[in-house]
Amino acid sequence: MGKRIGWSSLLALMVWGTLSVAQGAPPTALRTDLLEHTDRVWMDGYLTQLTLDSTARAIERLQVPLIYNRQPMFGWQVNDVRSDVRQTAYQIMVATSPELLRRFRPDMWNSGTVSSDNSVAVRYEGKPLKPNTNYYWMVRSANNGFMQEWSQIRAFRTAPALTDYQTAVYPLEKSDEIPVAWQRCPDGTYWADFGRASFAQLKVTLESDGEGDSVIVHLGEALKEGRVDRRPPGTIRYQSMKLGLLPGRHTYFIKIPAGGRNTRTTPPLAILMPDYIGEVYPFRYCEIEGYDRPLSATALLRQSVNYPFDDTAVRFTSSDTVLNQVWELCRYSVKATSFAGVYVDGDRERIPYEADALLNQLCHYYADKEYSLARHSHEYLLYHATWPTEWILQSVMIAWYDYLYTGDIRSARTHYELLKKKTLSILEDENGIISVEGNPRVDSALKASIHLPQGQRLADITDWPRDRFVFTPRNISPNSFHYASLALLSRLAGAIGETADSVTYAQQAEKVRSSINQLFFDRKLGLYRDGIGTDSVSLYSNIFPVALGVAEPRMLGPLGVYIASRGMECSVYASQFLLEALYETGQVEQALDLMSSTDVRSWYNMIRGGSTITMEAWDILFKSNQDWNHIWGAVPGNIIPRKLMGVEPIEPGYRRVRIAPQPAWLSEASIEVPTIRGAVSVSFENRSGTFDLTVDLPANMTGDVYLPLVSGVDAKRVQVEMDGQVLPDLELDRGAVKIVGVGSGRHTFRLTSR
């Protein structure tokens, strides 16, 4: 909690504030329970001009986001043009009407002026909220001691029943699109290309002279010889539907038929589309066969469905054109695969999995300033666990990232006891090593405790599909994730206030780490083995302990050389941990080579193959039933901003951020990353002997900046300028110059040799 300021101090702030208020600006991006657009109203997925107040008089089927919590959390973005700005205080007012706020007469809550820099998770502490009620709030911040103007008023509606904790979510959204390319084929069939695939519906406007006429509508993701591929391999989608025409001119809604993947009701459960949206189908191309009249492109309307998404929230460009295309492929994949309102694996199953959710979560944080879908998906999976051992363990990782990127601990606090079970500590042997094969403790009680359906097995997976890994009863992959889950749960326990647990889990994690390094590490080879009882060494057995923090610092150099030598010898899922391991070991050129590669095992191969959403596997060669809309293929969507450009929160809610670009051979790159506190911009120019970096941090954020010792720079004669001033007493940290505590605003850095 912040400290309330007395009236005398408040008066002084107000007097001084009149001298400086013009330099700041009112808070923006007001969030209630992580939702910024709580006042928007949709009608069957389409945005309307309606206000929350006007919905009571509407007769249409409307959707609005609802706030379920008795004490919701408020957040906002602090704005100020000055450098080195921190919020020093805030004041919130909540009322039952906007008029009361305009007259500064809140009837629900007036926080008073609270001395605090918290701007991301401030708990409501006013009168009890009522169900099914519209409320209005506004906030102002004191920036470096100077009070700013009030924000605009934001409205939210409470749910029919209130609770202590439930995540708020948006309804799904529809957008109408016309083809970007259009032609009539020699056989008279009309062919349309919508530019990119999406999960969508179709409306067509056609004419007929009499009953009995009909056309065939073809929808598909792939082309073959310039036409919709009607027999695509794997799980690439194609669908045809006959449409009977009525006399006259009519607009027809093409009903997508239900199939096994979207109606499954036995575990594991597929996610069904809500009634107000209806069934959707992934397609890019459309053909109208059997229509002999003139037809314009505007007669076809694709209704794409996704979770609300801001296409302008992020930008990235670099000197490598392949990397730019890969980035856009991954960014768009986040939007396109959000169609179900819960993270799912793709259209092949439409089932949430923890591994898909972890990668989707990290990519989503960098593609849009949106946090509710990741949290909602995580909480769904906590109670609908899937069978791989490693993926159960990733639940704790997802919970940690949720807290790190939002600064809101409520989800982890609410589900803390369940997260403890998700570490699978019950399966440990005397050394802390876990195993599931032949372990009598893998029983109905364990499955019930982690919410794994009784009919589901629990088994190690490592990767899918996997290459060159030898399974034993005790494998390195789940044990590396076990260590990570314990280490992160220790940090979550500390944030929740469970101090004793925090210490216990930290000690347990260290025991597991020590045991892995003793039992799995082959000191003669200097590499990790796949499991206990085998001499087999693989790429997998080495990327997981490196990426998840098991390997000791002295091991990283040799491990990095080995990992880099194996290339992309894994699937698109495991590439997340491969790339993280390469950056952790300093193999940054190899990491960049892989992301910008044009080989068969590459993201560019997905583009070359014709997909506009990331694939489930590198190519049909590696997975015969792969699909063309799998979010776990979008790994560069988080690796580019997190590792290449180096933008990562190091204190929850981006209170402190690390800026540590690792350019390798890129000569130029720039990115604008959305965060819960505002956009972080980073750009660099990388020339032999010189590295120029520009960083722009929003107000109420502090950064630690790392300048890499690029090619041509003498490590013994390094010189760094910050905003034109030479910095003394440089601190070197793992091949970079570290500058701690950089304040908000725009700063320029130059690294050269003296």
In this predicted structure, the answer to whether residue 18 has a pLDDT above a threshold of 50 is: no
Rounded to whole angstroms, the Cα distance separating 299 from 254 reads: 13
In this predicted structure, the answer to whether residue 441 has a pLDDT above a threshold of 90 is: yes
In this predicted structure, the answer to whether residue 262 has a pLDDT above a threshold of 60 is: no
Distances (CA, A) of 709 to 582, 648, 694, 732, 734: 17, 20, 16, 9, 10
Q: So what's the pLDDT on residue 104?
A: 98
Q: So what's the pLDDT on residue 12?
A: 40
pLDDT (tens digit, 9 = 90+) per residue, 185-201?
A: 999 999 999 999 999 99
Q: So what's the pLDDT on residue 596?
A: 98
Q: So what's the pLDDT on residue 615?
A: 98
Mean pLDDT of the chain, nearest integer: 95
With bands split at pLDDT 50, 70 and 90, how would you rate the model's confidence at 715?
confident
Q: So what's the pLDDT on residue 261?
A: 59
Q: So what's the pLDDT on residue 121?
A: 97
* Domain locations along the chain: 3-163, 173-306, 413-595, 654-753
One DSSP character per residue, 678-701 reads: --EEEEEEEETTEEEEEEEE-TT-
Q: So what's the pLDDT on residue 16?
A: 41
Q: So what's the pLDDT on residue 266?
A: 56
Residue in the structure block whose two tokens are 């405790």: 449
Q: So what's the pLDDT on residue 475?
A: 98
With bands split at pLDDT 50, 70 and 90, how would you rate the model's confidence at 468?
confident
Of the chain, the percentage scoring pLDDT greater than 70 comes to 96
pLDDT (tens digit, 9 = 90+) per residue, 25-60?
A: 999 999 999 999 999 999 999 999 999 999 988 899
* Region class of 723: left (phi > 0), else alpha (psi between -120 and 50), else beta: left
pLDDT (tens digit, 9 = 90+) per residue, 202-233?
A: 999 999 998 889 999 999 999 999 999 999 99
In this predicted structure, the answer to whether residue 9 has a pLDDT above a threshold of 50 is: no
Q: So what's the pLDDT on residue 7?
A: 41
Average pLDDT for residues 606-634, to the nearest whole number?
96
Rounded to whole angstroms, the Cα distance separating 259 from 261 reads: 6
Average pLDDT for residues 534-540, to the nearest whole number?
97
Residue in the structure block whose two tokens are 């189908």: 281
For 358, the token pair is 């972890």
Q: So what's the pLDDT on residue 390?
A: 98
- Domain 3-163 is of which CATH architecture? Sandwich (2.60)
With bands split at pLDDT 50, 70 and 90, how would you rate the model's confidence at 264?
low
In this predicted structure, the answer to whether residue 21 has a pLDDT above a threshold of 60 is: no
CATH code for the part of the protein at 654-753 = 2.60.420.10
Q: So what's the pLDDT on residue 24?
A: 84
pLDDT (tens digit, 9 = 90+) per residue, 472-510?
A: 999 999 999 999 999 999 999 999 999 999 999 999 999
Q: So what's the pLDDT on residue 467?
A: 72
Query: At 477, which helix (H) or strand (E)?
Result: helix 476-496
Q: Name the 3-class secondary structure at 494.
A: helix
Q: So what's the pLDDT on residue 8?
A: 42
Distances (CA, A) of 332 to 83, 340, 453: 34, 16, 33
CATH class of 173-306: mainly beta
CB neighbour class for 330 (10 Å; exposed up to 12, middle 13-18, buried from 19): buried
Closest CA to 261 of 289, 235, 223, 226: 235
Q: So what's the pLDDT on residue 56?
A: 87
In this predicted structure, the answer to whether residue 113 has a pLDDT above a threshold of 80 is: yes
pLDDT (tens digit, 9 = 90+) per residue, 125-144?
A: 999 999 999 999 999 999 99
If one compares 51 and 258, the residue with the highest pLDDT of the two is 51
Average pLDDT for residues 440-454, to the nearest whole number?
97
Question: What predicted TM-score, i.e. pTM, was given to this entire model?
Answer: 0.96
CA 14, chain centre distance (Å): 40
Rounded to whole angstroms, the Cα distance separating 617 from 601 reads: 9
CATH class of 413-595: mainly alpha
Average pLDDT for residues 316-321, to the nearest whole number?
98
Closest CA to 154 of 94, 69, 66: 94
Q: So what's the pLDDT on residue 267?
A: 60
Average pLDDT for residues 599-607, to the nearest whole number?
98
Q: Could you tell me where the DSSP H helices lie in 520-585? A: 540-547, 556-565, 575-584
